[in-house]
Structure 1
Amino acid sequence: MTVLTPDALPALQRRTVAILSLGQVLGGIAFGSTVSLGALLAADLSGDDALSGLATASVTLGAAAFAIPLARFAARRGRRLSLTAGNLLALIGVFVVITSAALRVFPLLLVGIVMIGMGNAGNLQSRFAATDLAAPKHRGRDLSIVVWSTTIGGVTGPLLLTPGEALGQAVGMPPLTGSYLFALVAQFAALMLYLVALRPDPLLTALKMAATPSRAAALGASVDRPVSARYAIFAVSGSHAVMASVMAMTPIHLSHMAHGHGGAGEMSEEVTLLVGVTIALHVAGMYGLSPVFGILADRWGRVRVVLLGQAVLAASLGTAIIAGEHAAGVMIALILLGLGWSAATVAGAALLTESSTVEMRPRRQGISDSLMSLTAAVGAAGAGVVLTNFGYGGLSAVALVIVVAISVMSPWGRIRESVPA
């Protein structure tokens, strides 16, 4: 492997960020389709709305189970092969989901969604790959650019529901699976992109540079701050749990509203469109302003932007409690939910990276992604029960407790934290 000088680092970093961003555009299409359709497919195949949350739970459970092994694999073989492996699993998962819908086998659906979640662990890893060679003063910005690029695919995925259904019917696909045709093409393209273009590998290059003190300084990799790292992991996983649990139940809640709270019933085109538009707006909130939050994290400090995210999450949950029985109120709440998640996730990931040496980063990043997905899986699984018994407002009130905890514990993140110059 050729060892780069610090002067050559910016050009390689720009190229790496561009490749990761394009990969996130492609991967976002598959993820957006899964988020929008998973709960509806689960409710349809199981015949029980209370089990609909298992779809999002399965996505996050798959990501949780695979995050640490994938991080260890990345530490040994690099980001290129780990991201390729993630996309391959997701591609297989999409085939399994389509098969489960054709056979109407609910457990097989969950297996496919788990595999898509395992692939999503690779998509999550992309944001950390953007920081491997980043200069400390631009770490939040570079990370947020990769996060932002998911907007294109993530918004497109839900909006492809209606045309996807028409295409699926034309080729004889099972109901609610048509848009997965687009996901198959996008997932394969992302796999080939990482395999062919992500050279030299950013993590392997960073590890080699870190072995030389002068080169390690260019990466800001000489100081380890475990207390700040622990808070970053808690803030990111908690914010993700809030987002995932509320988002997972929104399609079911909107379906209930459209049918007078009498159950999901037959999925009409109007309900599918309402769900698709609402989730698309939510995903736009998740990713659309992430570069703004990345720049703010670089200039204001990581913990301040994490707290900004908690304030926006609180506003979202408050809107859901007050106006959650109106479609417009749900849309506003979901947009704010995405914005709050974005601020907390971008700033928290930057804080975790800068609190760790290069050698420690893959391990802690894997732990962070695993806990983030695991807490979200638990939240999404329980969200269906909470929604059934306490309604959408009750679910939002429960999620608000986590927001308060992250805010109260923020002084732990400030320990040893230095605001980037």
Structure 2
Amino acid sequence: MTALIALGGLFGLALVGMPIAFVLLAVASSLIYSLNLPLKSAMQTMVAGVDSFILIAVPCFVLAAKLMNAGQITDRIFDLAGAFVRHIKGGLAHVNILASLIFSGMSGSAVADAAGLGEVEVKAMRKAGFDAPFAAAITAASSVIGPIFPPSVPFVIFAGLASVSLAKLFLAGAIPAILMALFLGVAAYIISVRRNYPTERRATLRELGRAFARAFWPLLSPVFVVGAIVFGITTPTEAAVIAVVYSLILGLSYRTIRLKDLPRILTETAVESGVLLFIVATVAVFSWTITFERIPQTVIEFVFTFAESPAVVLALIVAVMLGLGLFMNPTPGLLIATPFMLPLATAIGVDPIQLGVIMVLTLAIGLITPPIGICLFIVCRVARVDVGAVVKECLPFVVALTLIALLVAYIPALTLWLPNLVMG
């Protein structure tokens, strides 16, 4: 009964619009009061929840993404992607997808992708003759690759919650992210053929070389960050600091970031990081109270009364996470669901690394679906098009991304092969 009340309060308060940190705090406080637990322990748990070296990487990656956006690296990335794939039917749609994949390796954020690349991509596609809703839809859909391709802020959060290797998580996201780009490309190609969208001319070797030279230094960012972590040169937190310094150097050397811009960028980073870490703190006390009351175990027992098959349980996990993604952004959804999903997945033999990719991917799909799809609304504002029209155009891409989520859930090798190959 306590489990049902806690879960009901959790989702009820979230659905009426209460900020997720206060939802977690309210539910945890009510459980503490009903169980006569000491409030002092709750405060200590909140402090301990953010007293983690790896979590310092969160504000650093947020800052690196903001510096990349402010540094206008997007034009160089877009030109490079265009040189590779613009000659395929529906050329700029594929440029859009590849540019997002490349930019994901620098920002690790869907919102940074949608806000940074979005304006460049939509403007170019509309000028080339693409319908505005389609241009907005493919821009929003391709931004979902951001949290999956390394480095990734949600992966940093999950690694801290689940006590798993962040290096392995980063590597685990690489193949699913590439598959996401391929599936989105197939969907865009089919639509482009049916609507006879334009194709650009093939780039010459000289143009390809020039585009690569302009984007060379930005392309080294994910190499430095992910390579340093995977090969044990630096910790994830140190690698995140390297990403910040490198992004700042690029912006200053390209003269796209001025020193007077830094206070605004740092303030935005501090506010966003403060919100994220406050949520992490409330999750810590929430997890402590539900574990004390054995609520995760109760949820596992409840699920297994209806479905004993691991395949069915996996389907339930995917369905629940997709549903949760409709109402929450990936980070809050991840923080709420991990205390429940991790024991459940472990009980059916799912590797925590694979679970992390499943959860982030399914939650990220919600970024382009109503009612709170933040990337959807960002791109609609940039493109100045009706949200309803873009939602309709997004449907094929949502289906493509959902298929990838199912493949990741049922084919462990897609997430585990590369980490095991590189790290053993």
Question: Could you say whether these structures have the same fold, taking a TM-score greater than 0.5 normalized by the shorter chain as the test?
Answer: no
Q: Which has the larger radius of gyration?
A: 2
| TM-score w.r.t. length of structure 2 | 0.31
| TM-score w.r.t. length of structure 1 | 0.31
